[in-house]
Structure 1
Amino acid sequence: MTELAKAAASGLDTNAGLGGQQVLDRLVALLDLEKIEENIFRGVSPPHSPTRVFGGQVAGQALVAAGRTVPVERKVHSLHAYFIRAGDPKVPIVYEVDRIRDGRSFTTRRVVAVQHGKAIFALSASFQLDEDGVEHAEQMPDVPDPESLPTLAERTRDFADLLGPRVFPRPIDIRYVNDPPWATRATGQQPARNQVWMRADGSLPDTQLLHVCVLTYASDMTLLDSLLARHGVYWDVDKVLGASLDHALWFHRPFRADEWFLYDSASPTASGARGLATGRFFSRDGRHIATVVQEGLIRVL
């Protein structure tokens, strides 16, 4: 286990009292996988989650494992993943990388995350050499600047009795453009849309793969808010159970995850105890940097 990973798993079970950079450093530590054999890596989890590993963490770590078997000049452009079982935060996760293909322009990797002898997560990722080609993109929505919006701590201050201890310092600074679902749930159904500004809450090294993995981590945060708002419910507040089922990301243009990006998400449909959410990421200067689609399990009891 690396020294960074040891620090992340040192038994400090909350981020309470830590500053943004310290919390972000813990995330960087979690993404610093240990190589235990050729094509096999091991990651740890912060012990603050009593029941299951956060999906964005598993996706980010799996992408790190894949990326460490690919030449640095090839950049990840897409990933497709399935969440198979809930991860156990008390034991390490082993990531097994299958080198599917090394072509002249594209490289394909498959990663399976294993705990207790069973697969908990599977990811396929594709990497590409930089190429010139046609370009176009949709325009970024017109939204207020992130500095003009309240922090997550400020947003949740008046809802402490409702949300309880689940709110703690995070490695991602989140600023809701619209009212968050826990604030609107009492008013009933809201538009199936959610917009937040995000950035890593501190400075990251210049390693390109790390920035992609941090955005991958963040992409599993707030994405299903649009679905919940549509039905006037929220996690752990109402009788609603949920989990990520599958997750797909496409990376379109270079970016830094420690600079502000807009996460614009919507839920076009829900049925059969499943809901679909789509999201677009825009850099602050308006570039469309990534797109995400996720289906989640949603059971309103």
Structure 2
Amino acid sequence: MALLDLSDLGPDTFLGVSPPVGPQRVFGGQVASQALVAAGRTVDPARAVHSLHGYFVRPGDPAEPITYAVERVRDGRSFSVRRSVATQHGKTIFFMSASFHVPEEGLDHQAPAPRVVPGAKPSDSEEPGAPDDRVVPPPEELPTLLERLAPYPERARALALREMPIDVRYDGEPGWVRPGNRRPEPHQRVWMRIDGTLPDDPLLHACALTFASDLTLLDSVLSAHGEVWGPGGVIGASLDHAVWFHRPFRADEWLLYDCWSPSASDARGLATGRLFTRDGRHVASAVQEGLLRRVGG
């Protein structure tokens, strides 16, 4: 909540900060969610965000505040468009275009969601991109992130020092499991939710989902190759990120993030993900391209 509570610096200009303990550069989901907060504060609350498209230009410095300047591109009868630019030290580190829409009646359909079945086990019989009836276990049956990290004491200690506002539970192997323990899997599925109760503000829930959508998406590129983050595997950075919001949801309730990678080439990997509520409603979609380079052991 503190990360998403930007200070008002003047007309359409806001200031955001980073956590006191965190990574060496600003987490991409943080700057994207803060940029959306800034854009949303300049829009009529009756208009809900339906899409955002952002580019990561430079690494952010977590020790320095981030300034967000919003351009009011257009306010039409049904849509509002905003451009939100994040800067540090006088240079752009991220920029985003976001569109907001008044509620309307219209056509409504969605592709099938994975089925949530108690006791379900991971399957290795899927084909990339093809519709499938794979089942997934409910989140309560999957280990927490700290439980996953038990075999990796250094990572567990580092995680314990940081506040984890999002409960993340993998169905399958995470991207930081050692290469010898991984096998290629076309899909990666993760349950996630804000670990607490958020106020009833749709924009806040959209910003929280935007933050969370950057946590595991690129893992699906590694998953397709049985690769791993870090020494002996791959290092990476987000290049761009897009999210579409389809239906109402709460980010403090469990969402299933169904991710797969349609392509990787030229040291870049493309990943796409769908977010479903527990009862199978498709509430959002995300696409991200990342820079992925092999590193030595």
Q: TM-score, normalised by structure 2?
A: 0.88
Q: Deviations over 1:53-107 (max 9, x none)?
A: 0000000000000000000000000000000000001111000000000000000
User: Are 2:85 and 1:112 equivalent residues in the alignment?
Assistant: yes
Determine the structure 2 residue equivalent to 1:16.
none
CA shift, 1:139, in A, is 1.4
CA contact (8 A) 1:184 1:229 kept: no
| SS in structure 2 of the partner of residue 186 of structure 1 | helix
| SS in structure 1 of the partner of residue 168 of structure 2 | strand
Flag structure 2 segments of 5+ consecutive residues without an equivalent: 116-135
Flag structure 1 segments of 5+ consecutive residues without an equivalent: 1-27
Residues 224 and 57 (structure 1), Cα distance of their counterparts in 2 relative to 1, 3 Å cut: same
- Tell me which of 204, 226, 232 is aligned to 1:232: 226
CA shift, 1:230, in A, is 2.6
CA shift, 1:237, in A, is 4.2
CA shift, 1:188, in A, is 5.1
Aligned pairs (5 A) from 1:39-188: 39-142=12-115, 143-161=136-154, 163=155, 165-168=157-160, 169-183=163-177, 185-187=179-181
CA shift, 1:50, in A, is 5.0
Residues 267 and 50 (structure 1), Cα distance of their counterparts in 2 relative to 1, 3 Å cut: closer
What stretches of structure 1 move > 6 A for 4+ residues in a row? none
User: Are 2:191 and 1:194 equivalent residues in the alignment?
Assistant: no
- Tell me which of 210, 218, 228 is aligned to 1:216: 210
The one-letter amino acid paired with 2:69 is: E
Give the whole-Å Cα distance in 1 for the aligned partners of 2:174 and 2:248: 29
| SS in structure 2 of the partner of residue 36 of structure 1 | strand
Q: TM-score, normalised by structure 1?
A: 0.87
For the aligned residue pairs, the C-alpha RMSD in angstroms reads: 1.4
CA shift, 1:170, in A, is 1.1
Give the whole-Å Cα distance in 1 for the aligned partners of 2:174 and 2:9: 42
Identity of aligned residues (%): 59
CA shift, 1:138, in A, is 1.1
Determine the structure 2 residue equivalent to 1:4.
none
| SS in structure 2 of the partner of residue 183 of structure 1 | coil
- Of Structure 1 and Structure 2, the greater helix share is in 1
Give the whole-Å Cα distance in 1 for the aligned partners of 2:158 and 2:272: 25
User: Are 2:285 and 1:291 equivalent residues in the alignment?
Assistant: yes
CA contact (8 A) 1:188 1:231 kept: no
